[in-house]
Amino acid sequence: MSSLNAPNIPASGTVICDSLWTGSSLVTMQDGRYNIIENGVLAVKDGQIIWLGTEENSPDFVTAVRHDFDGGIVTPGFVDCHTHLVFGGDRSAEFEQRLNGVSYAEIAAQGGGILSTVNATRKASHQQLFEQARFRLMPLLAEGVTCVEIKSGYGLSDESELKMLRVIRELAQSMPVRVKSTCLAAHALPPEFKGRADEYIQHICDVLLPQVAAENLADAVDAFCEHLAFSPAQVEQVFKRAVSLGLPVKLHAEQLSSLHGSQLAARYSALSADHLEYATEEDVKAMAAAGTTAVLLPGAYYLLRETQTPPVALFRQYGVPIAIASDANPGTSPVLSLRLMLNMACTLFHMTPEEALAGVTCHGARALGLQNSHGTLEVGKAADFVHWPLARPAELVYWLGGQLPCTVIYQGHIRGATCA
Protein backbone atom coordinates (compact mmCIF):
# COMPACT_ATOMS: atom_id res chain seq x y z
CA MET A 1 0.00 0.00 0.00
CA SER A 2 2.88 2.37 0.68
CA SER A 3 3.50 2.97 -3.02
CA LEU A 4 0.04 4.55 -3.21
CA ASN A 5 1.10 7.16 -0.75
CA ALA A 6 4.46 8.08 -2.15
CA PRO A 7 3.26 11.28 -3.90
CA ASN A 8 2.06 12.67 -0.56
CA ILE A 9 5.36 12.33 1.21
CA PRO A 10 7.43 15.46 0.80
CA ALA A 11 11.20 15.19 0.36
CA SER A 12 11.71 15.84 4.07
CA GLY A 13 9.69 12.68 4.82
CA THR A 14 7.32 14.61 7.10
CA VAL A 15 3.58 14.68 6.36
CA ILE A 16 1.50 17.57 7.70
CA CYS A 17 -2.11 16.65 8.41
CA ASP A 18 -5.14 17.82 10.40
CA SER A 19 -5.72 14.50 12.16
CA LEU A 20 -4.12 11.10 12.46
CA TRP A 21 -6.00 7.88 13.20
CA THR A 22 -4.03 4.88 14.46
CA GLY A 23 -4.39 1.57 16.27
CA SER A 24 -6.87 -0.40 14.17
CA SER A 25 -7.06 -2.53 11.02
CA LEU A 26 -8.14 -0.61 7.92
CA VAL A 27 -10.72 -2.49 5.83
CA THR A 28 -10.11 -0.40 2.71
CA MET A 29 -12.65 -2.10 0.36
CA GLN A 30 -10.43 -1.12 -2.55
CA ASP A 31 -11.57 -2.92 -5.74
CA GLY A 32 -14.51 -4.34 -3.80
CA ARG A 33 -12.32 -6.52 -1.56
CA TYR A 34 -11.59 -6.22 2.13
CA ASN A 35 -7.93 -5.39 1.33
CA ILE A 36 -7.13 -5.09 5.03
CA ILE A 37 -4.16 -3.07 6.28
CA GLU A 38 -3.28 -4.47 9.71
CA ASN A 39 -1.98 -2.04 12.29
CA GLY A 40 -3.07 0.80 10.05
CA VAL A 41 -2.53 4.53 10.07
CA LEU A 42 -4.76 7.01 8.30
CA ALA A 43 -3.95 10.71 7.88
CA VAL A 44 -6.58 13.34 7.05
CA LYS A 45 -6.23 16.87 5.71
CA ASP A 46 -9.00 19.20 4.53
CA GLY A 47 -11.60 16.41 4.83
CA GLN A 48 -9.65 14.03 2.61
CA ILE A 49 -7.49 10.98 3.22
CA ILE A 50 -3.94 12.04 2.36
CA TRP A 51 -2.04 8.98 3.57
CA LEU A 52 -2.78 5.45 4.73
CA GLY A 53 -0.64 2.42 5.31
CA THR A 54 0.93 0.38 8.07
CA GLU A 55 2.39 1.83 11.22
CA GLU A 56 5.75 0.32 10.25
CA ASN A 57 5.85 2.18 6.91
CA SER A 58 4.60 5.49 8.28
CA PRO A 59 6.48 8.69 7.59
CA ASP A 60 6.78 11.27 10.36
CA PHE A 61 3.53 13.15 10.84
CA VAL A 62 2.92 16.66 12.07
CA THR A 63 -0.71 16.69 13.17
CA ALA A 64 -3.09 18.81 15.23
CA VAL A 65 -4.97 15.79 16.61
CA ARG A 66 -3.99 12.17 17.10
CA HIS A 67 -6.61 9.46 17.78
CA ASP A 68 -5.66 5.96 18.86
CA PHE A 69 -8.51 3.51 18.31
CA ASP A 70 -6.86 0.83 20.44
CA GLY A 71 -7.98 -2.10 18.31
CA GLY A 72 -10.98 -2.89 16.13
CA ILE A 73 -11.53 -2.21 12.45
CA VAL A 74 -12.14 0.87 10.33
CA THR A 75 -14.39 0.65 7.26
CA PRO A 76 -15.36 3.29 4.73
CA GLY A 77 -18.55 5.17 5.68
CA PHE A 78 -21.62 3.30 4.46
CA VAL A 79 -23.47 4.46 1.35
CA ASP A 80 -27.23 3.83 1.18
CA CYS A 81 -27.72 4.39 -2.55
CA HIS A 82 -31.50 3.85 -2.87
CA THR A 83 -34.04 5.30 -0.43
CA HIS A 84 -37.43 6.99 -0.41
CA LEU A 85 -36.99 8.59 3.03
CA VAL A 86 -39.14 11.66 2.35
CA PHE A 87 -42.87 10.92 2.52
CA GLY A 88 -45.99 11.87 4.43
CA GLY A 89 -47.82 9.50 6.80
CA ASP A 90 -46.93 5.84 7.06
CA ARG A 91 -48.59 2.57 6.11
CA SER A 92 -48.38 0.64 9.37
CA ALA A 93 -52.20 0.52 9.64
CA GLU A 94 -52.35 -1.05 6.20
CA PHE A 95 -49.64 -3.53 7.16
CA GLU A 96 -51.73 -4.53 10.18
CA GLN A 97 -54.94 -4.75 8.12
CA ARG A 98 -53.30 -7.10 5.63
CA LEU A 99 -52.11 -9.38 8.44
CA ASN A 100 -55.66 -9.35 9.82
CA GLY A 101 -56.88 -10.76 6.53
CA VAL A 102 -58.04 -7.65 4.64
CA SER A 103 -57.29 -8.11 0.93
CA TYR A 104 -55.17 -5.84 -1.26
CA ALA A 105 -58.30 -5.06 -3.31
CA GLU A 106 -60.24 -3.92 -0.23
CA ILE A 107 -57.30 -1.81 0.97
CA ALA A 108 -57.00 -0.23 -2.47
CA ALA A 109 -60.77 0.44 -2.51
CA GLN A 110 -60.35 2.30 0.81
CA GLY A 111 -57.72 4.53 -0.81
CA GLY A 112 -54.77 2.56 0.54
CA GLY A 113 -51.52 1.68 -1.18
CA ILE A 114 -49.15 4.17 -2.78
CA LEU A 115 -51.93 6.72 -3.36
CA SER A 116 -52.47 7.05 0.39
CA THR A 117 -48.80 8.04 0.68
CA VAL A 118 -49.24 10.45 -2.22
CA ASN A 119 -52.20 12.10 -0.47
CA ALA A 120 -50.35 12.36 2.86
CA THR A 121 -47.25 13.74 1.12
CA ARG A 122 -49.26 16.36 -0.77
CA LYS A 123 -50.96 17.48 2.46
CA ALA A 124 -47.74 17.66 4.51
CA SER A 125 -45.84 20.93 4.78
CA HIS A 126 -42.19 21.25 3.83
CA GLN A 127 -41.31 21.39 7.53
CA GLN A 128 -43.35 18.28 8.38
CA LEU A 129 -41.73 16.29 5.58
CA PHE A 130 -38.31 17.50 6.68
CA GLU A 131 -38.81 16.53 10.33
CA GLN A 132 -40.22 13.09 9.48
CA ALA A 133 -37.40 12.33 7.03
CA ARG A 134 -34.83 13.50 9.57
CA PHE A 135 -36.34 11.15 12.14
CA ARG A 136 -35.96 8.23 9.68
CA LEU A 137 -32.47 9.24 8.65
CA MET A 138 -31.11 9.18 12.22
CA PRO A 139 -31.02 5.37 12.67
CA LEU A 140 -29.22 5.02 9.35
CA LEU A 141 -26.61 7.55 10.45
CA ALA A 142 -26.24 5.82 13.83
CA GLU A 143 -25.02 2.67 12.13
CA GLY A 144 -22.41 4.31 9.96
CA VAL A 145 -24.12 5.77 6.88
CA THR A 146 -22.20 8.82 5.63
CA CYS A 147 -23.81 9.08 2.18
CA VAL A 148 -27.46 8.56 1.25
CA GLU A 149 -29.56 8.90 -1.88
CA ILE A 150 -33.16 10.08 -1.48
CA LYS A 151 -35.84 10.07 -4.19
CA SER A 152 -38.95 12.12 -4.78
CA GLY A 153 -41.94 10.26 -6.27
CA TYR A 154 -44.77 10.56 -3.74
CA GLY A 155 -45.86 14.03 -4.82
CA LEU A 156 -46.71 13.28 -8.45
CA SER A 157 -47.68 16.90 -9.08
CA ASP A 158 -45.28 19.69 -9.98
CA GLU A 159 -45.77 21.45 -6.67
CA SER A 160 -45.41 18.34 -4.49
CA GLU A 161 -42.51 16.82 -6.41
CA LEU A 162 -40.63 20.13 -6.13
CA LYS A 163 -41.52 20.28 -2.43
CA MET A 164 -40.03 16.81 -1.87
CA LEU A 165 -36.86 17.68 -3.79
CA ARG A 166 -36.43 20.91 -1.79
CA VAL A 167 -36.79 18.92 1.44
CA ILE A 168 -34.06 16.56 0.20
CA ARG A 169 -31.80 19.54 -0.55
CA GLU A 170 -32.46 20.94 2.93
CA LEU A 171 -31.55 17.59 4.50
CA ALA A 172 -28.30 17.77 2.51
CA GLN A 173 -27.54 21.21 3.91
CA SER A 174 -28.50 20.57 7.53
CA MET A 175 -27.52 16.97 8.26
CA PRO A 176 -23.97 15.60 8.65
CA VAL A 177 -24.33 13.21 5.73
CA ARG A 178 -23.71 13.51 2.00
CA VAL A 179 -27.13 13.46 0.28
CA LYS A 180 -27.79 12.74 -3.40
CA SER A 181 -31.21 13.78 -4.70
CA THR A 182 -33.12 11.85 -7.39
CA CYS A 183 -36.27 12.94 -9.20
CA LEU A 184 -38.67 9.97 -9.41
CA ALA A 185 -41.76 11.73 -10.78
CA ALA A 186 -42.33 8.66 -13.00
CA HIS A 187 -43.00 6.48 -9.94
CA ALA A 188 -46.77 5.98 -10.28
CA LEU A 189 -49.63 7.52 -12.22
CA PRO A 190 -51.21 10.41 -10.30
CA PRO A 191 -55.03 10.20 -9.98
CA GLU A 192 -55.44 13.35 -12.11
CA PHE A 193 -53.92 11.49 -15.08
CA LYS A 194 -55.87 8.23 -14.67
CA GLY A 195 -55.96 6.46 -18.05
CA ARG A 196 -53.59 9.08 -19.54
CA ALA A 197 -50.13 7.77 -18.69
CA ASP A 198 -48.59 9.07 -21.92
CA GLU A 199 -49.83 12.57 -21.11
CA TYR A 200 -48.31 12.40 -17.62
CA ILE A 201 -44.95 11.32 -19.07
CA GLN A 202 -45.16 14.19 -21.57
CA HIS A 203 -45.89 16.58 -18.70
CA ILE A 204 -42.87 15.35 -16.74
CA CYS A 205 -40.66 15.86 -19.81
CA ASP A 206 -42.06 19.25 -20.89
CA VAL A 207 -42.75 20.94 -17.56
CA LEU A 208 -41.36 19.27 -14.45
CA LEU A 209 -37.88 18.10 -15.45
CA PRO A 210 -36.85 21.45 -16.98
CA GLN A 211 -37.87 23.16 -13.74
CA VAL A 212 -36.04 20.58 -11.61
CA ALA A 213 -32.92 21.13 -13.72
CA ALA A 214 -33.25 24.93 -13.66
CA GLU A 215 -33.39 24.93 -9.85
CA ASN A 216 -30.67 22.24 -9.57
CA LEU A 217 -32.93 20.13 -7.36
CA ALA A 218 -31.84 16.69 -8.57
CA ASP A 219 -28.58 14.86 -9.23
CA ALA A 220 -30.27 12.08 -11.22
CA VAL A 221 -33.60 11.01 -12.72
CA ASP A 222 -35.27 7.67 -11.94
CA ALA A 223 -38.44 5.87 -13.10
CA PHE A 224 -40.41 2.73 -12.24
CA CYS A 225 -40.51 0.39 -15.23
CA GLU A 226 -43.17 -2.24 -14.52
CA HIS A 227 -46.59 -3.36 -15.77
CA LEU A 228 -48.24 -1.56 -12.86
CA ALA A 229 -46.21 1.62 -13.49
CA PHE A 230 -44.60 2.72 -16.79
CA SER A 231 -43.61 0.91 -19.99
CA PRO A 232 -40.07 0.92 -21.41
CA ALA A 233 -41.27 3.26 -24.19
CA GLN A 234 -42.61 5.73 -21.63
CA VAL A 235 -39.47 5.48 -19.49
CA GLU A 236 -37.37 6.15 -22.58
CA GLN A 237 -39.10 9.51 -23.06
CA VAL A 238 -38.13 10.48 -19.53
CA PHE A 239 -34.55 9.26 -20.06
CA LYS A 240 -34.19 11.25 -23.31
CA ARG A 241 -35.31 14.44 -21.57
CA ALA A 242 -33.10 13.81 -18.53
CA VAL A 243 -30.02 13.24 -20.67
CA SER A 244 -30.77 16.38 -22.73
CA LEU A 245 -30.83 18.32 -19.44
CA GLY A 246 -27.49 16.83 -18.41
CA LEU A 247 -28.93 14.57 -15.70
CA PRO A 248 -27.80 10.93 -15.35
CA VAL A 249 -30.49 8.25 -15.07
CA LYS A 250 -31.32 5.23 -12.88
CA LEU A 251 -34.19 2.77 -13.10
CA HIS A 252 -36.43 0.56 -10.95
CA ALA A 253 -36.35 -2.47 -13.28
CA GLU A 254 -37.23 -6.16 -13.37
CA GLN A 255 -38.66 -6.19 -9.84
CA LEU A 256 -41.89 -8.10 -10.50
CA SER A 257 -41.59 -9.09 -14.15
CA SER A 258 -39.18 -9.01 -17.08
CA LEU A 259 -39.62 -5.93 -19.30
CA HIS A 260 -35.89 -5.55 -20.02
CA GLY A 261 -35.88 -2.11 -18.47
CA SER A 262 -32.32 -2.78 -17.39
CA GLN A 263 -31.25 -3.02 -21.06
CA LEU A 264 -32.96 0.30 -21.68
CA ALA A 265 -31.14 1.73 -18.67
CA ALA A 266 -27.85 0.42 -20.04
CA ARG A 267 -28.52 2.08 -23.43
CA TYR A 268 -28.74 5.40 -21.59
CA SER A 269 -25.55 4.66 -19.58
CA ALA A 270 -27.58 4.55 -16.37
CA LEU A 271 -25.70 4.81 -13.09
CA SER A 272 -27.72 1.87 -11.83
CA ALA A 273 -30.60 -0.50 -12.44
CA ASP A 274 -32.32 -1.42 -9.18
CA HIS A 275 -34.24 -4.48 -7.85
CA LEU A 276 -33.50 -6.83 -10.82
CA GLU A 277 -35.09 -10.03 -9.48
CA TYR A 278 -36.23 -10.88 -13.03
CA ALA A 279 -33.12 -9.70 -14.91
CA THR A 280 -32.05 -12.05 -17.73
CA GLU A 281 -28.56 -12.91 -18.97
CA GLU A 282 -29.01 -10.45 -21.85
CA ASP A 283 -29.96 -7.73 -19.37
CA VAL A 284 -26.87 -8.48 -17.29
CA LYS A 285 -24.59 -8.44 -20.36
CA ALA A 286 -25.96 -5.05 -21.39
CA MET A 287 -25.41 -3.66 -17.89
CA ALA A 288 -21.85 -4.98 -17.86
CA ALA A 289 -21.06 -3.36 -21.22
CA ALA A 290 -22.51 -0.02 -20.07
CA GLY A 291 -20.87 -0.04 -16.63
CA THR A 292 -24.29 0.11 -14.95
CA THR A 293 -24.31 -0.97 -11.30
CA ALA A 294 -26.86 -3.52 -10.07
CA VAL A 295 -28.56 -2.27 -6.89
CA LEU A 296 -30.18 -5.12 -4.94
CA LEU A 297 -32.88 -4.39 -2.37
CA PRO A 298 -33.39 -7.38 -0.07
CA GLY A 299 -35.80 -5.47 2.20
CA ALA A 300 -38.48 -5.19 -0.48
CA TYR A 301 -37.90 -8.81 -1.54
CA TYR A 302 -38.43 -9.88 2.07
CA LEU A 303 -41.46 -7.69 2.80
CA LEU A 304 -43.21 -8.80 -0.39
CA ARG A 305 -42.33 -12.44 0.33
CA GLU A 306 -40.88 -12.74 -3.18
CA THR A 307 -39.42 -16.03 -4.31
CA GLN A 308 -37.50 -15.04 -7.45
CA THR A 309 -33.99 -13.97 -6.41
CA PRO A 310 -31.83 -11.60 -8.49
CA PRO A 311 -29.22 -13.37 -10.69
CA VAL A 312 -26.20 -12.79 -8.46
CA ALA A 313 -24.17 -15.52 -10.22
CA LEU A 314 -24.64 -13.74 -13.57
CA PHE A 315 -23.61 -10.37 -12.09
CA ARG A 316 -20.45 -12.07 -10.82
CA GLN A 317 -19.83 -13.84 -14.14
CA TYR A 318 -20.07 -10.63 -16.20
CA GLY A 319 -18.42 -8.37 -13.63
CA VAL A 320 -21.40 -6.15 -12.87
CA PRO A 321 -20.77 -4.30 -9.57
CA ILE A 322 -23.46 -5.15 -7.00
CA ALA A 323 -24.67 -2.50 -4.53
CA ILE A 324 -27.02 -3.14 -1.60
CA ALA A 325 -29.48 -0.53 -0.32
CA SER A 326 -32.32 -0.17 2.16
CA ASP A 327 -34.99 1.03 -0.33
CA ALA A 328 -36.47 2.69 2.79
CA ASN A 329 -40.08 3.40 1.80
CA PRO A 330 -43.50 3.24 3.47
CA GLY A 331 -45.06 0.51 1.33
CA THR A 332 -42.71 -2.32 0.46
CA SER A 333 -39.54 -1.71 2.51
CA PRO A 334 -40.00 0.13 5.83
CA VAL A 335 -36.32 -0.48 6.53
CA LEU A 336 -34.23 1.78 8.74
CA SER A 337 -31.16 -0.45 9.00
CA LEU A 338 -28.60 -0.87 6.25
CA ARG A 339 -26.72 -3.43 8.37
CA LEU A 340 -29.81 -5.64 8.38
CA MET A 341 -29.71 -5.46 4.56
CA LEU A 342 -26.13 -6.76 4.64
CA ASN A 343 -27.31 -9.84 6.46
CA MET A 344 -30.34 -10.30 4.17
CA ALA A 345 -28.18 -9.93 1.04
CA CYS A 346 -26.19 -12.92 2.31
CA THR A 347 -29.00 -15.08 3.71
CA LEU A 348 -31.58 -14.37 0.98
CA PHE A 349 -29.40 -13.66 -2.10
CA HIS A 350 -26.38 -15.84 -1.18
CA MET A 351 -23.88 -13.03 -1.47
CA THR A 352 -20.67 -13.29 0.54
CA PRO A 353 -20.08 -10.92 3.49
CA GLU A 354 -17.24 -9.32 1.51
CA GLU A 355 -19.56 -8.73 -1.48
CA ALA A 356 -22.28 -7.37 0.81
CA LEU A 357 -19.88 -4.94 2.46
CA ALA A 358 -18.65 -3.81 -0.98
CA GLY A 359 -22.33 -3.26 -1.81
CA VAL A 360 -22.70 -0.55 0.85
CA THR A 361 -19.28 1.00 0.31
CA CYS A 362 -17.47 1.09 -3.03
CA HIS A 363 -20.30 -0.22 -5.22
CA GLY A 364 -22.90 1.89 -3.39
CA ALA A 365 -20.76 4.93 -4.20
CA ARG A 366 -20.51 3.81 -7.83
CA ALA A 367 -24.31 3.60 -8.08
CA LEU A 368 -24.34 7.34 -7.28
CA GLY A 369 -21.46 8.28 -9.58
CA LEU A 370 -19.25 8.90 -6.53
CA GLN A 371 -16.69 6.14 -7.14
CA ASN A 372 -13.81 8.61 -7.47
CA SER A 373 -14.48 10.39 -4.20
CA HIS A 374 -16.26 7.96 -1.84
CA GLY A 375 -16.73 4.31 -0.92
CA THR A 376 -13.17 3.15 -0.16
CA LEU A 377 -10.29 4.07 2.12
CA GLU A 378 -7.83 5.46 -0.41
CA VAL A 379 -5.64 8.51 -0.77
CA GLY A 380 -7.64 11.34 -2.32
CA LYS A 381 -11.03 10.07 -1.13
CA ALA A 382 -13.35 11.76 1.35
CA ALA A 383 -12.38 11.17 5.00
CA ASP A 384 -15.69 9.41 5.74
CA PHE A 385 -15.01 6.28 7.78
CA VAL A 386 -16.32 4.25 10.71
CA HIS A 387 -14.48 2.63 13.60
CA TRP A 388 -16.01 -0.57 14.95
CA PRO A 389 -14.67 -2.32 18.07
CA LEU A 390 -14.97 -5.66 16.25
CA ALA A 391 -12.46 -8.33 15.34
CA ARG A 392 -13.37 -8.80 11.68
CA PRO A 393 -15.61 -7.19 9.02
CA ALA A 394 -17.88 -10.24 8.71
CA GLU A 395 -19.31 -9.32 12.13
CA LEU A 396 -21.00 -6.34 10.48
CA VAL A 397 -22.95 -8.78 8.34
CA TYR A 398 -23.34 -11.62 10.83
CA TRP A 399 -25.22 -9.91 13.69
CA LEU A 400 -28.94 -9.51 13.15
CA GLY A 401 -30.45 -6.40 14.70
CA GLY A 402 -29.14 -4.44 17.63
CA GLN A 403 -26.91 -1.45 17.26
CA LEU A 404 -23.20 -2.12 17.18
CA PRO A 405 -21.08 0.56 18.82
CA CYS A 406 -19.19 2.70 16.39
CA THR A 407 -17.47 6.03 15.94
CA VAL A 408 -18.36 7.78 12.71
CA ILE A 409 -15.90 10.17 11.12
CA TYR A 410 -17.52 12.44 8.53
CA GLN A 411 -15.42 14.81 6.43
CA GLY A 412 -12.52 14.20 8.80
CA HIS A 413 -14.39 14.97 12.03
CA ILE A 414 -16.08 12.76 14.63
CA ARG A 415 -19.83 13.06 14.05
CA GLY A 416 -21.67 14.30 17.15
CA ALA A 417 -23.63 12.07 19.50
CA THR A 418 -26.90 13.72 18.45
CA CYS A 419 -26.40 12.50 14.91
CA ALA A 420 -24.52 9.26 15.27
328 vs 379 by CB, closer to Zn ion: 328
236 vs 327 by CB, closer to Zn ion: 327
Least Cβ distance, residue 260 to Zn ion (angstroms): 19
What string of DSSP letters covers 90-149? --HHHHHHHHTT--HHHHHHTT-THHHHHHHHHHS-HHHHHHHHHHHHHHHHHTTEEEEE
Question: Is residue 363 part of an annotated ligand binding site?
Answer: no
Name the maximum alpha-carbon separation found in the chain.
75
Least Cβ distance, residue 313 to Zn ion (angstroms): 24
Question: Is residue 227 part of an annotated ligand binding site?
Answer: no
165 vs 379 by CB, closer to Zn ion: 165
74 vs 270 by CB, closer to Zn ion: 270
Contact residues toward Zn ion (CB under 5 A) are 327
Question: Is residue 332 part of an annotated ligand binding site?
Answer: yes
Question: Is residue 343 part of an annotated ligand binding site?
Answer: no
**In contact, 23 and 69? CB cutoff 8 Å:** yes
Task: Give the DSSP H/E element, type plus range, for residue 407.
Answer: strand 407-410
Least Cβ distance, residue 84 to Zn ion (angstroms): 6
Least Cβ distance, residue 375 to Zn ion (angstroms): 20
The closest of 25, 154, 140 to 89, measured between CA atoms, is: 154
The residue number whose beta carbon is nearest to Zn ion equals 327
What string of DSSP letters covers 146-202? EEEEEE--S--SHHHHHHHHHHHHHHHHHSSSEEEEEEEEETS--GGGTT-HHHHHH
Least Cβ distance, residue 145 to Zn ion (angstroms): 17
Question: Is residue 301 part of an annotated ligand binding site?
Answer: no
Question: Is residue 327 part of an annotated ligand binding site?
Answer: yes
161 vs 327 by CB, closer to Zn ion: 327
What are the CA-CA distances from residue 234 to residues 158, 200, 203, 273, 365 (Å)?
A: 18, 10, 12, 16, 28
Least Cβ distance, residue 378 to Zn ion (angstroms): 29
Question: Is residue 275 part of an annotated ligand binding site?
Answer: no
Question: Is residue 198 part of an annotated ligand binding site?
Answer: no
67 vs 187 by CB, closer to Zn ion: 187
The closest of 80, 311, 93 to 175, measured between CA atoms, is: 80
**In contact, 415 and 78? CB cutoff 8 Å:** no
Q: Annotated binding site: which residue ranges?
A: 82, 84, 91, 154, 187, 252, 255, 327, 329, 331-332
Q: Annotated binding site for Fe(3+): which residue ranges?
A: 82, 84, 252, 327
Q: Annotated binding site for Zn(2+): which residue ranges?
A: 82, 84, 252, 327
Q: Annotated binding site for N-formimidoyl-L-glutamate: which residue ranges?
A: 154, 329, 331
